[in-house]
Amino acid sequence: MQPSKTSPYFTAARLRLYSYILLVFIVLIYLANAFAPLHLHVDSIRYYNIKDCLEFGCNPNSFAGTDYLPYGYTALLITLSKLGVLSAVSIVLINCFFLFTGMYFLQKLLKPFVSTFLVLLITLFNWTVIKFCAHPLSEMQYIFFSFASLYSFHLFITRKNYLYLLAAFVLCICTILTRTIGIALLPALMLGIVWQHRTGIKDLILKNKIIVLFAIVLLSLLLFFAKQFKILDYTNNLKAPFQKGIFHFFTENLKFHFTEITEVFFNAPYKKAADMLPTGVASLLYITIGLFLFCWLVYAIVMKRNKLPFYLKAYLFFYILIIINWPYYDPRFWVPLIPIIAAVYLQTPFNLYTLLRIPYRISVVIYLLIGISAATYYLWMGMDHHRFSSRQASGVYRNEYETYFFGQPQSDTAKKIDQNVLEILKKYD
C-alpha cells in the first residue's frame, strides 16, 4: 500500500506499528503491577482463609471450613505456599502467565474468523482485566483452563484425534474446579460434538461407544460429587432471585447484570459515571444501554453472519444464561467472556454501513484511551503506599494497609482493624 499523501500518520504500516507499541505498553503495565502491594478483595481474603484452613487446619464449622468457593484456585495458593513463593509478586506473574497463555489458545482458535490482534488489544485494555489480573482471584486461571479446553476441542474437530477430545474434557473439569460456572463448558462441548456430526449422529454413537460411555460417566461423576465440587452451593444461590418473586428478579437481578454489561462493553466503570452524573441518571443510563447490548449480544450469537464455531457460541450462551440468573453484582463475572464478546463484536459488519464505519472506529479509539487511563491509574496507585491504602478496594481495607505499611492507621477516624486482613498482608504481601 502506498503511503497516503493526506494522512501519512495513518497508513497501514504505521497503524500496525502503533498497535504493537500499544501491546508492548500494556504488557509492561501488567508485569509492572507485580511490584505493587498485594491487592485484596473480599473474595481474595476468602481464598487465603480457605488455603490456611486446608494447609494448617481450622475449625470445620468456621466460615473458611464451610466456604463454598471451589478448591481449584486454593490449590494454586497452597502449591505456591509449599514452594515458599506465595507473594504479591508471584500472584501477578502467574496471573499474567494464565492470561497471556489463555489468550494464545483463544487466538489460535479464532484466527480464521476475526482479527485476533484486535481481540487481544480489546481484552488487555479492558479495565476489569487490568484490575483483576493484579488480584489473588481465580479469573485468570479460569481463562487459562477454559480457553485451553476450547482450543483442545478445536484441535479435536480439525484433526479428528480423540486424545484432544479427552484433553478438552479434562481441562473442562479443571475449569469447573476453578470456578463453578465452568459447568457452562460441558453442554457446549457435548453439543459441539453433536453439531459437528449432526448429519450422522446415530452412526457416530454406534462407532464410538467408548466416547459415549465416557460422557455418561463424566456426567454421573459430576452429579455424584456435586456437593464436593461445590455445585450444589451455587445452584442454591441461583434459586434466590426466583424465591423472592419474579418482580424482584427483573428489578434487582437484571438491573445488576445489565449495568455490568455496559461497564464491560464500554470500558467505563459505573462508579466513575455515578461520580459525574446524578446517581439516578447514571443507573438508568447503564441499565438501558445494558438491556440493548444484551439483546444485541443474543442476536449476534445466532445471526448467520456470525461465523464463529458453534461450540464457542454455545459456551457464550450457557455462560450468559447462568450469569444473568446469578443474584450478585460484580463486573468481574464477565472477565472470562470479554475476548469472546470482542470476537462477536468484530464479526459485526460495520464496514458495510457507511454511517456506522466512523462511529465504530471512534469507539475503538475511545475504548483504548480509557484502557490506557485505567492501566496507568492502577500502576500509579500501586507505586505509593499512602495512595494505595486509601484507594485500593475503595478504601475498605485502608486501616489494615496503613497499619501494615506505617505501623498504625493514618486517619484520625480509624476505630477498627481487621486482624485477619492484617495477618494476610503480613504473611503474603
Both 153 and 259 in one domain: the answer is no
pLDDT band at 190 (very low <50, low <70, confident <90, very high): confident
Domain boundary pick from 195, 229, 263: 229
Residue 3 clears pLDDT 50, i.e. is over it: no
The reported pLDDT for the residue numbered 247 is 67
The residue behind cell 462508579 is: 271
Distance CA 143, CA 179 (A): 10
Domain boundary pick from 229, 253, 279: 229
The reported pLDDT for the residue numbered 73 is 94
78 in a structural domain: no
**Per-residue pLDDT tens over the stretch 98-128:** 999 999 999 999 998 888 899 999 999 999 9
332 in a structural domain: yes
The reported pLDDT for the residue numbered 4 is 44
Both 222 and 246 in one domain: the answer is no
**Per-residue pLDDT tens over the stretch 257-270:** 999 999 999 999 99
The reported pLDDT for the residue numbered 2 is 43
185 in a structural domain: yes
State the average pLDDT over residues 193-214.
64
Both 239 and 342 in one domain: the answer is yes
- From 14-23, 143-152, 193-202, 327-336, the region with the lowest mean pLDDT: 193-202
Domain boundary pick from 229, 252, 272: 229
R_g of the chain computed on alpha carbons: 23
pLDDT band at 291 (very low <50, low <70, confident <90, very high): very high
Both 156 and 265 in one domain: the answer is no
Residue 11 clears pLDDT 80, i.e. is over it: no
The reported pLDDT for the residue numbered 369 is 92
pLDDT band at 350 (very low <50, low <70, confident <90, very high): low
Separation of CA 74 from chain center:
17
Both 245 and 198 in one domain: the answer is no
Both 214 and 171 in one domain: the answer is yes
**Which amino acid is located at 273 in the chain?**
A
Which structural domain range is residue 424 located in?
391-428
Both 240 and 317 in one domain: the answer is yes
Phi, psi of 116 (to 5 degrees): -65, -25
The reported pLDDT for the residue numbered 265 is 92
The reported pLDDT for the residue numbered 1 is 39
**Per-residue pLDDT tens over the stretch 57-93:** 888 888 777 777 888 999 999 999 999 999 999 999 9
Could you tell me which of 185, 175, 195, 138 has the C-alpha nearest to residue 318? 185
288 in a structural domain: yes
Whether the Cβ atoms of residue 307 and residue 113 lie closer than 8 Å to each other: yes
- Measure Cα distances from 97 to 90, 93, 143, 253 in Å: 10, 6, 11, 34
62 in a structural domain: no
Residue 249 clears pLDDT 80, i.e. is over it: no
Distance CA 225, CA 148 (A): 24
16 in a structural domain: no
The reported pLDDT for the residue numbered 241 is 59
Both 395 and 406 in one domain: the answer is yes
Distance CA 36, CA 102 (A): 24
pLDDT band at 248 (very low <50, low <70, confident <90, very high): low
Number of domains in the chain: 3
Both 265 and 341 in one domain: the answer is yes
Whether the Cβ atoms of residue 167 and residue 216 lie closer than 8 Å to each other: no
The reported pLDDT for the residue numbered 236 is 60
pLDDT band at 342 (very low <50, low <70, confident <90, very high): very high
Give percent above pLDDT 90 in the chain: 52
408 in a structural domain: yes
- From 48-52, 126-130, 407-411, the region with the lowest mean pLDDT: 407-411
344 in a structural domain: yes
Instruction: Say which residue, 19 or 398, is predicted with more confidence.
Output: 398
- From 121-130, 311-320, 351-360, the region with the lowest mean pLDDT: 351-360
Both 311 and 237 in one domain: the answer is yes
Which of 103-117, 186-200, 241-255 has the highest mean predicted lDDT (pLDDT)? 103-117
Which of 123-132, 183-192, 300-309, 319-328 has the highest mean predicted lDDT (pLDDT)? 123-132
pTM for the whole structure: 0.88
Residue 232 clears pLDDT 90, i.e. is over it: no
Instruction: Say which residue, 8 or 72, is predicted with more confidence.
Output: 72
State the average pLDDT over residues 423-428.
94
Residue 238 clears pLDDT 80, i.e. is over it: no
Whether the Cβ atoms of residue 185 and residue 315 lie closer than 8 Å to each other: yes
Both 343 and 237 in one domain: the answer is yes
Both 235 and 332 in one domain: the answer is yes
State the average pLDDT over residues 184-191.
89
Q: Tell me what the pLDDT averaged over the chain comes to.
A: 85
The reported pLDDT for the residue numbered 6 is 45
